[in-house]
Amino acid sequence: MILYVLRRLTAGLVLAVLVTMITFLLLSTSLDDIAGSILGSSATPARIEQQKAQLGLDRPVLVQYLDWLSHAVRGDFGLSYFTSEPVRSAIAARLGVTLSVVLVALLLTAVVGVTLGVLAATRAGVVDRIAQGASLFGHLVPNLLIAIGLVWLLALRLHWLPATGYTPLAEDPARWAASITIPVLALTAAGAASLTSQVRGAMIDELRKDYVRTLRTRGIRLRSILLRHALRNAAGPALTVLSLEFVQMFGGALVIEQVFALPGFGSYAFNASLQGDIPIIMGITLFAVLLVVCVNLLVDLANGWLNPKARIR
Amino acid sequence: MRIRPPHTSPRSLALVALTTTAVLLTTTACDGQAASSSSTTSTLSLAIMGTPNSFAPAQLTEGQQAYVWSSLYDTLLLVNDDGDLRPGAAQRWTYSDSGRTLTLTLRTGMKFSSGSPVTAAAVKATLNLIRTSGQNQTQLAAVDSIDAPDDRTVVLKLRNPDASLLHALAGAGGVIADPQTMRTSGSALNPVSSGPYTLDKGATVNGSVYVLKRRDDYWNKQAYPFPTVKIKVISDRAASVNALKAGEINAGSVEAQQLSSLKAAGFTTKLIEATSVATLLLFDRKGEVLKPLGDVRVRKAINMAFDREKMVRLFLKGSGRATEQLYHPLDEGYDPALDHTYPHDPAGAKKLLAEAGYPDGFSVHMPSLYFTKPFEPTISQSLADIGIKVTWDPAPAQQTISALATRKYPMALVIDGLDPVPVQTRDYFSPNGYRNVFASSDPRLTRLLLKANGETDASKAAEVYKQIDAFTVNNAWTAPVFYIGVHWVTKKGIVFRGDGSSTQNSLRQFGLAGQAGG
């Protein structure tokens, strides 16, 4: 198992190196433009060359990349070209905001999706129709629209929650919860819809299998059959859906961050891309790749824990 | 097989779901005051659309982010709400030697937030930094040398008279930084203040919210009625409206469609009709890359291709106005009569093109920039109507500056913030202006530019600028289309004092209702 984890982590690091290298190569086509942006519209070619030399952008691209990589492995991601903010601490702060929203949304997605999925699978009739209706609603209505509706209701009408902004958890837990509630609910809607469909389908398949009938004839309690056997077997695909949801929520955080003016990872990445802020873009790329690698690894490990057949030997 | 046991619902899961949701909602619902606590008149909570760049004195950029840095740095001169230059840290200024020596006399008793005195040596050090590095070197390009003969006197020797210099000294080109710290990395995020506010670093989250605390020892404190200012970065206008309605901010700029609901909610609104201008810049006036543009009849035809009023209705919905010139409509150099030079007349335009030898029109490539995309179909159609076929070359956002700075494109659509007339003249019409990419010149215009730069009497200078305006419009140097405005919305009790005459963004523009401006 340890070897497996190490192998996966090594593969993840190789992937991170490849992705960051490709990113740097793509950025290297705009080095003049980036130096020009730092100096403003009126910069002369001579000043642009001077700026490039100052930032080390006049060296061969591979040398520049290896220089960045050698600093990155030591935890030094440099300073933003445009704000002079240290990239590592800036990314950590913004990652905290986005992960606050995404992880809580993912937790809620899991709880709501599994609950509705199991209910729909085990109870036909009205419960199933309601669960499927809710799932369809989540699929059909865009996150953005749900977010707008929730802002109108919970922030502007009822004044229960703030419409914009973010309060760090360490500063004030209650206000932190307030600041993320609407974004979390908006993100959860679509995620829970996908998961409900997945869990419902998988549970129906499991409950039709012979082992369930056998377990029932042996007098095993139904709750035990559902939770310890059927749900466990159905959880594998659900976990895969959850990991995809994580990537989707993380990648799509920009829209939610814009709507709620959250100082998160998505809007930070977007602004850095517009400006061509190489240190930030590189840092963001690396963190995003490592995050996705880690999540996929965790999902695979969880799958192995749930299903002995999926374990790596 | 469906199973319908009487007690088989996974209640534990449901319980967790309900508990999680309830915890989120109840903890937050109890915190309802969060939504309204920031909105007191002692605190100005202002939304800006873009994230401020570095606060290092040589890296300051104009636009809404100036609300932050202009609060942290004092400037040598000020621009009042009417757009007129006024004494700032420099109590007075005088030109001598045919406009080639500028002497500034500083106020007494000014201090940095560190307690050090603001001296002529500090001014000299900052100006030298700005003119030799960073974003704003062009603003001080005319400066040849700077002397500080005593603690209160700064003397600028100029290579040539420059009418835009005083405006530069009222903006990013004229900030005063602490010479001890201005080159350190700390100045980029939390500079020593010479201005009316200091940055509350503990409450500030870079890129999200900037909290400013007013200094009691600032010489012009009365012009800043708010002891605390929170400047929030909200790039989405709908989010700004929500924040206004929820009481999370008490001032912000919004779009025209959102005004009625805000007015109904008791907010005060003010339209600033022109903050930027959308222009089709006709760079290649000698026809070096695109021969037809060298003919003034072609450039006039392009000007006649646009139904400006319709475009204003279509795109701006009341937040702007049509224009055929680049100067600020509230400036003395602006001539309203020139706005009727090129009425929308596709048939007349085609006739002009035929007279110029292009009866079948011609093709042109223009850069497609992230801010031009909404307008491209209309611009393409307008030009196609007179026979000019446009191909838009996609340019990534980070290549915007270079796409416009190289001679690759003979013409381009730009949207630029409006500057004072001397600055607009320098940037668009002087041979080394950054928006005069092909360095076009004309003997008549050169004479006018020299005259404007050497004229220290404002009213006489305005007359010269009117002549420059007339020359550039009549010779179709550019094809301006419309001014873009902005609607400022403030909570009851707070006023936006400006009328758009001043192009400098400053917290002096915000005041308390019933109190005079500073």
- Is some CB atom of chain A closer than 8 A to the CB atom of B233? yes
Paired residues of B213 in beta bridges:
B198, B228
- Give me chain B's average pLDDT, please: 89
Q: Where are the alpha helices (DSSP H) in B135-236?
A: 165-169, 186-189
What pLDDT, on a 0 to 100 scale, did the predictor assign at position A218? Answer: 87
Give the count of beta carbons closer than 10 Å to the beta carbon of residue A288: 19
Question: Is there a contact between B235 and A164 (Cβ–Cβ < 8 Å)?
Answer: no
Strands, DSSP E only, in B88-161?
90-96, 101-106, 143-150, 153-158
Whether the CB of A108 is below 8 Å from some CB of chain B: the reply is yes
- The alpha-carbon gap from A37 to the nearest alpha carbon of chain B, in Å, equals 7
Q: How far apart are CA B433 and CA B437, in angstroms?
A: 7
* Phi, psi at B440, each rounded to 5°: -65, 145
Pair of tokens at residue B262: 């805000």
Give the model's confidence band at B39: pLDDT under 50 very low, under 70 low, under 90 confident, else very high.
very low
Q: Do B234 and A36 touch (CB under 8 A)?
A: no
| Cα angle for residues B308, B323, B445 (degrees, 5° grid) | 130
Q: Which residues contact B142 (CB under 8 A, 6 or more apart)?
A: B158, B159, B160, B161, B162, B165
Half-sphere exposure of B500 (CA within 13 A, CB side): 22
Q: Are B327 and B469 in contact (CB under 8 A)?
A: yes
- Band (pLDDT 50/70/90 cuts) for residue B253 is very high
Type of residue numbered A206: E
A 22-51 residues with CB < 8 A to B:
30, 32-34, 36-43, 47
Collect all residues of chain B within an 8 Å Cβ-Cβ radius of residue A155.
Answer: 35, 242, 246
- Contacts across the A-B interface (CB distance below 8 Å): 218
A 10 A CB-CB count for A305 gives 12
Pairwise CA distance, residues B455 & A284, whole Å: 52
What is the per-residue pLDDT across A20-29, written as a single tens digit (0 to 9) for each? 999 999 998 8
Q: Which residues of B touch A167 (CB under 8 A)?
A: 34
Q: Quick one: average pLDDT of B468-482? A: 97
| Burial environment of residue B21 by CB neighbours within 10 A (0 to 12, 13 to 18, 19 or more) | middle
Q: What is the CA radius of gyration of chain B?
A: 26
Q: Which of B52, B136, B239 sits opposite A261 (nearest CB)?
A: B239
Which residues does residue B198 pair with via DSSP β-bridges, in sequence order? B213
Mutation pick from A161, A176, A210, A278 vs chain B, by most beta carbons of B within 10 Å, is A161
The answer to whether the Cβ–Cβ distance between A119 and B9 falls below 8 Å is yes
CA distance A213 to chain B (A): 9
**Which helix (H) or strand (E) element contains residue B377?**
helix B376-384
Strands B362-368 and B494-496: unpaired
By DSSP bridging, strand B74-75 and strand B175-176 are antiparallel
Q: Which tens digits make up the pLDDT trace of B297-335?
A: 999 999 999 999 999 998 888 789 999 999 999 988 899
Check CB contact under 8 Å for A41 and B24: no
Q: Is the minimum CB–CB distance between A78 and chain B shorter than 8 Å?
A: no
What type of residue sits at position A61? Answer: V
Rounded Cα distance, B110 and B42, in Å? 25
pLDDT given at position A311: 64
List all residues 6 or more positions away from B408 whose beta carbon is below 8 Å from its beta carbon: B289
- B37 band by pLDDT with thresholds 50, 70 and 90: very low
Weakest mean pLDDT among A75-84, B29-38, B382-391: B29-38
Residue B194 near residue B89, CB atoms below 8 Å: yes
Question: Parallel, antiparallel, or unpaired for β B228-233 and B43-48?
Answer: parallel
Q: Determine contact: B63 vs chain A, CB below 8 A.
A: no
